[in-house]
Chain A
Amino acid sequence: MSTYILKRLAISVVVLFALAAASFLLIHLVPGDPVRQMLGSGATPENIASVRSDLGLDRPMIDQFGTFMGNTFTGQFGDSITLRTPIGDLISERIGPSVLLILYGVFFALIIGVPLAVAAALRPQGFADNVIRIATTFTFAMPTFWLGLVLALIFGLQLGIFPVSGYETGVGGFFRTLTLPALTLGLSLVAMVVRTLRTQLLVVLGSEHIEAARARGLTERRVVGVHAIRNSIMTTITVISVQIGFLIGGTVVLEYVFQIPGMGTLLIDAVTNRDFPLVATITVLAGATVIVVSLITDLIQLALDPRVRLADS
Chain B
Amino acid sequence: MTALALVMRRPFTARSSLHLNLTVKIGAVIVGLIVLAAFLAPIIAPYPPNEAKFLDQLQAPSFQHLMGTDSAGRDVFSRTLYGARVDILVMLFVTFVPLPIGVLAGAMAGYFGGWVDLVISRLADLMIAFPFLVLVMAIIAIVGPGLKGVMIGIPLAGWALYARMARAEMLVVKEQNYMVATKTLGYSRKRAIFRHAAPSILRTSLVYSTLDMIVNLLLIAGLSYLGLGMQPPGSELGTIIANGQVHLLDAWWISTLPGLVLVALGVGLGLIGDGLSDGDLLGKEAR
Contacts and interface: CB of A to CB of B under 8 A. Distances in A.
Interface of A: 15, 18-19, 22-23, 26-27, 30-32, 34, 37, 124-125, 129, 133, 137-138, 140-146, 149-150, 152-153, 157-158, 164, 191-192, 195-196, 198-199, 202, 239, 242-246, 248-249, 252-253, 256-257, 267-268, 270-272, 274-276, 279-280, 282-283, 286-287, 289-291
Contacts of B142: 26-27, 30, 32, 34, 276
Contacts of A242: 2-4, 7
Nearest to A188: B218
Contacts of B8: 140, 191-192, 195
Interface stretch (B162-170, B190-198, B225-233, B279-287): B225-233
Contact of A286 (B134, B214, B259, B269): B134
Contacts of B180: none
Nearest to B15: A125
Chain B CB within 10 A, most for which of A18, A157, A243, A287: A287
Contacts of B126: 15, 18-19, 22
A93 B236 CA distance: 34
Contact of B259 (A146, A195, A274, A275): A146
A248 B131 contact: yes
Give the bracket for the number of chain B residues in contact with chain A: 35 or more
Contact of A150 (B13, B143, B256): B256
Given A150-B256, A242-B3, A272-B145, A143 B137 contact: no
Interface stretch (B94-102, B103-111, B241-249): B241-249
Contact of A243 (B4, B256, B266): B4
B131 A153 contact: no
Given A149-B256, A153-B248, A276-B141, A286 B13 contact: no
Interface of B: 2-4, 7-8, 10, 12-13, 122, 125-127, 129-135, 137-145, 214, 218, 221-222, 225-228, 238, 241, 245, 248-249, 252, 255-256, 259, 262-267, 269-271, 274
Contact of A152 (B133, B218, B248): B248
B211 to A, nearest CB: 9
A279 B129 contact: no
A36 to B, nearest CB: 12
A153 B245 CA distance: 10
22 contacts: A15-B126, A22-B126, A26-B138, A141-B214, A141-B262, A146-B256, A149-B245, A149-B259, A157-B248, A246-B132, A249-B134, A252-B134, A253-B225, A267-B134, A267-B137, A272-B145, A276-B141, A280-B138, A283-B135, A287-B131, A290-B130, A291-B129
B141 A279 contact: yes
Nearest to A120: B12
Contacts of A244: 131
Contacts of A270: 141
B190 to A, nearest CB: 30
Contact of B130 (A37, A142, A196, A286): A286
A53 B186 CA distance: 59
A239 B122 CA distance: 22
Contacts of B137: 252, 267-268, 271, 279
Given A133-B12, A271-B141, A271-B228, A149 B263 contact: no
A108 B186 CA distance: 57
A253 to B, nearest CB: 5
A246 B131 contact: yes
B133 to A, nearest CB: 3
Contact of A282 (B134, B143, B249, B259): B134
Contacts of B249: 153, 157-158
A21 to B, nearest CB: 9
Nearest to A284: B130
Nearest to A26: B138
Chain A CB within 10 A, most for which of B129, B225, B266: B129
Nearest to B260: A146
Contacts of B129: 15, 19, 287, 290-291
Q: Which are the 8 A-B pairs with shortest beta-carbon distances?
A: A141-B266, A249-B133, A245-B131, A146-B259, A248-B131, A271-B141, A30-B142, A286-B134
Contacts of A199: 10, 12
Contact of B138 (A245, A257, A271): A271
Given A283-B138, A290-B131, 15 more contacts: A26-B138, A137-B274, A138-B267, A140-B266, A143-B225, A143-B238, A146-B241, A146-B259, A149-B248, A199-B12, A249-B133, A253-B222, A253-B226, A271-B138, A276-B142
Contacts of B256: 146, 149-150, 153
B256 to A, nearest CB: 6
Nearest to B228: A271
B214 to A, nearest CB: 6
B132 A249 contact: yes
Nearest to B237: A143
Contact of B226 (A142, A146, A150, A256): A256
A252 to B, nearest CB: 6
Given A32-B144, A140-B270, A271-B140, A243 B3 contact: yes
A242 B141 CA distance: 26
Contact of B225 (A129, A145, A246, A249): A145
